[in-house]
Structure 1
Amino acid sequence: MSGRAHAFGAVSALLLVTACGGTERQSDGDRPDDPGTVTGTFDPTTIASPGDGSNSVRVEDTVATDLEAPWGLAFLPDGSALVTERDRATISLVDGGSTREVGRIVETSPTSEGGLLGLAVSPEFETDATIFVYVTTTDDNRVLSMTYDGSTLGAPTPILTGIPNGEIHDGGRLAFGPDGCLYVSTGETGDGDLAQDDDSLGGKILRITMTGEPAPGNPDESSPIWTKGHRNVQGLAFDDADRLWASEFGSDVWDELNRIEPGNNYGWPAAEGDSNLEGFVDPLVQWSPDQASPSSVAFADGSLWVASLRGERLWQVPVRSDGTLGQPEPHFVGAYGRLRTVVAAPDGTLWLTTSNRDGRGTPGPEDDRILEVVID
């Protein structure tokens, strides 16, 4: 790793961050002294060695069929789930083997990669009944909040607007952190300069409150920007030590798995993959795009799980207790086509969506599907 410069303010990684939900974020004293000592450039063709945290996995069931480019997926407290469909602009409830549409986001303006994308459920859902979505409109990408009463959606309220939109690289993943804040991944829409522009929300990971304000403790307290220098992050996940990980599409050379820390600059467009350039943070894992094109990441059973579109596989990356990573292992190579979203289910399984009807895949008779994956 080269210099870990924080490009928009001197941000100390040891500061406690005031949480959006009123509790303190875990101290960085629990993190390894220098996670950058892991070079993180793994050979994607090498199978993980026994004992390095790899598991056998299997598809146990198909929990939903006949979807069209499912994108966002999140569980409700009762164990049912909500799923978005990118181009149809619908939100559906998946429960007990049935799927039922509960609403449509009418302001959605689907593009090649834009549309109705990420979805997150409020950590206080049992009291506020609120969900959040990331949507492409004719003017921008934005985050909306709305209530869900178990039957239908309430009227959406924009809480964050002005995220650049485009035919490509729209980002779109939403994830609540253990601090109660909402993390939002954005893309640079094909304009790499936006990723380094502190006046643009494009090519960033954002951290906001549930009302859309910059979260307390951000590097710049007046800005929602948490990190910058991203091309197109579509995966966000926290591990069991509250570390944030992001999967990111590269261009033609390297896709990335990054550990996200506030104020860091991840290098795009000057850096792609392990660049060793001063001032930028290198990835801990990199793959060639034909092996990955990673659209989502989840944490379960001691590993990060990365769903891959072009690579048509589910990557497992073991996470050691000190935050270093084991050797990645591929699962389901070519078996289900393009894989968009992976989410850890409350029962310990993974839910995994296909994306064969997104205009770039070869749909099977039941596509698109949500698969239930058991980790043995």
Structure 2
Amino acid sequence: MINYPFRKITIGLLIFGPAFLAGCSAEEDDGEPEENTEEAGEAAGSVSEASTEDWNVEVLAENLDVPWSLNIHEDTYYMTNRGGDVIEVTGEEKERLPLAASDEIVNEGEGGLLGFVLAEDFADSSKGYAYYTYRQNDGALANKVVAVERESSQWSETEVLLDDIPGDRIHNGGRLEIGPDGYLYATAGDSDEPSLAQDEDSLAGSILRMTVDGEVPEGNPFENSYVYSYGHRNPQGLAWTSTGKLYSSEHGPNAQDEINVIEPGNNYGWPEITGSESAEDLDAPVVQSGSTTWAPSGTAFLEDTLLVAGLRGESLYAYDEEAEEMNAVFEGEGRLRDVKTGDGGVYVLTNNTDGRGSPSENDDQLLKLTLKE
């Protein structure tokens, strides 16, 4: 296994009021930095009622290069970037540690080092799981899920859990999460071949479920298959309610982005239905964007409110279940790739350096949002 040097960078901690920038999309846009001079009004009573002025914003890290996935353990923030590194931030110290992988990580188009999640026993084991794009022997792009371990100067792949997940320059999915059942879930895009999403025998266009050892769990809906649900175009986020209901975010073809409630074995319709269309035995989204583009990415729950990071939409959205609509509750920092919650805060990764945004000085950033009292 190859050993790579790492770089250590010390950064100052910045705290700022709402200075807001324009940015970009899952399928493209442009914008110029713009300052919001409106005074903050009365603080919101809940996150679902919030607007940008209702948040205190703290910069926890900056000058991040195409960050993709965020994890938090104790006082350290762990972020992947598409180039193949794990960035660790503790206080004012930032380390960039490469992932030594069994195949070269291919940072091409939307591919690269994408999903990343720490093992539940990470404090004792130093282990985690990653999802990355690689090139097969025939030159085709594919994705794999691997077990990884943190060492003194790098992260190292220790085991391939699942490979040969169809890939392409676009529609690689890539999100990894450990569910409340202790299983590992991964989102797989249709690899720019829509018909694969309707093929139960293909891993593409699916949400996959496996044990943390890479086995097919008992109770998966299809015999000897990792496929948990299918008919997905490019699923991007996974989050569970306190009662165990699974939500997923998904990029649509021409806007028509989706939030779905995932049930095992169900078919979510791509490419047979999109947007507000419906058909027998195909599950429609609980909410979709119509002619507006959210390009929804990472998701998380803050109490009982689903939060969704928007790329093209350049907003943090909250899903209003009663009204069946998505509301922008924070915007002005450009493209948002991932969101996590904890200790009363909302942690957001910007993604303006991914080739589709308009980076400003010090982009990309890890932000902590807290509602003003």
Which of the five TM-score ranges fits, normalised by the shorter chain? 0.7 to 0.9
Letter in 2 for 1:276: S
Deviations 1:6-43 (A, max 9, x none): xxxxxxxxxxxxxxxxxxxxxxxxxxxxxxxxxxxxxx
Letter in 2 for 1:133: A
Deviations 1:306-337 (A, max 9, x none): 11111111101145xxxx6654220233x111
Deviations 1:265-291 (A, max 9, x none): 000011112212111111111114644
Q: Which runs of 5+ in 2 are unaligned?
A: 1-43, 137-141
Contact 1:215–1:221 (Cα < 8 Å) also in 2: no
User: Residue 230 of structure 1 is aligned with which of 229, 232, 237?
Assistant: 232
Q: What is the CA–CA distance in structure 2 between the aligned matches of 1:128 and 1:83, rounded to whole Å?
A: 18
How far is 1:79 from its partner? 3.1
Deviations 1:60-90 (A, max 9, x none): 21111111110011122x231210011x211
Q: Is 1:96 aligned with 2:98?
A: no
SS in 2 for 1:332: strand
Contact 1:52–1:327 (Cα < 8 Å) also in 2: no
Letter in 1 for 2:368: E
User: Residue 355 of structure 2 is aligned with which of 353, 356, 359?
Assistant: 359
How far is 1:94 from its partner? 1.4
Deviations 1:215-250 (A, max 9, x none): 221002411100000000011111211111000000
Q: What is the CA–CA distance in structure 2 between the aligned matches of 1:285 and 1:97, rounded to whole Å?
A: 40
Cα distance, 1:326–1:375 mapped onto 2, change above 3 Å: farther
Tell me which residue corresponds to 2:177. 175
Letter in 2 for 1:101: R
How far is 1:374 from its partner? 1.1
SS in 2 for 1:154: strand
How much identity, in percent, do the aligned residues show?
Answer: 37
Cα distance, 1:129–1:52 mapped onto 2, change above 3 Å: closer
Tell me which residue corresponds to 1:329. 327
Please list, as runs of the form range in 1=range in 2, the aligned pairs for 1:146-157 lying within 5 A after superposition.
146-149=148-151, 152-157=154-159
Please list, as runs of the form range in 1=range in 2, the aligned pairs for 1:247-258 lying within 5 A after superposition.
247-258=249-260
Tell me which residue corresponds to 1:81. 77
SS in 1 for 2:276: coil
How far is 1:301 from its partner? 2.8
Cα distance, 1:95–1:150 mapped onto 2, change above 3 Å: farther
How far is 1:92 from its partner? 1.2
Cα distance, 1:289–1:375 mapped onto 2, change above 3 Å: farther
Tell me which residue corresponds to 2:340. 343
SS in 2 for 1:328: strand
Higher mean C-alpha displacement, 57-66 vs 362-371? 57-66
Q: Is 1:127 aligned with 2:147?
A: no
Q: What is the CA–CA distance in structure 2 between the aligned matches of 1:103 and 1:112, rounded to whole Å?
A: 20
Q: What is the CA–CA distance in structure 2 between the aligned matches of 1:364 and 1:51, rounded to whole Å?
A: 30
More strand by percentage: 2
Kindly report structure 1 stretches of 4+ aligned residues shifted beyond 3 Å.
Answer: 49-53, 149-152, 288-291, 324-327
Q: What is the CA–CA distance in structure 1 between the aligned matches of 2:352 and 2:291, rounded to whole Å?
A: 17
Contact 2:47–2:318 (Cα < 8 Å) also in 1: no
Cα distance, 1:52–1:274 mapped onto 2, change above 3 Å: farther
Q: What is the CA–CA distance in structure 1 between the aligned matches of 2:128 and 2:146, rounded to whole Å?
A: 8
Q: What is the CA–CA distance in structure 2 between the aligned matches of 1:318 and 1:375, rounded to whole Å?
A: 18
Q: What is the CA–CA distance in structure 2 between the aligned matches of 1:52 and 1:94, rounded to whole Å?
A: 26
Tell me which residue corresponds to 2:108. 111
Q: TM-score, normalising length from structure 2?
A: 0.81
Tell me which residue corresponds to 2:68. 71
Please list, as runs of the form range in 1=range in 2, the aligned pairs for 1:1-376 lying within 5 A after superposition.
53-55=48-50, 57-76=54-73, 78-86=74-82, 88-106=83-101, 107-139=104-136, 140-149=142-151, 152-288=154-290, 290-318=292-320, 327-333=325-331, 335-345=332-342, 347-376=343-372
Q: What is the CA–CA distance in structure 1 between the aligned matches of 2:49 and 2:324, rounded to whole Å?
A: 9
Deviations 1:310-369 (A, max 9, x none): 1111101145xxxx6654220233x11111111123x12111111111111100001011
Contact 2:174–2:236 (Cα < 8 Å) also in 1: yes
How far is 1:155 from its partner? 3.8
Cα distance, 1:362–1:154 mapped onto 2, change above 3 Å: same
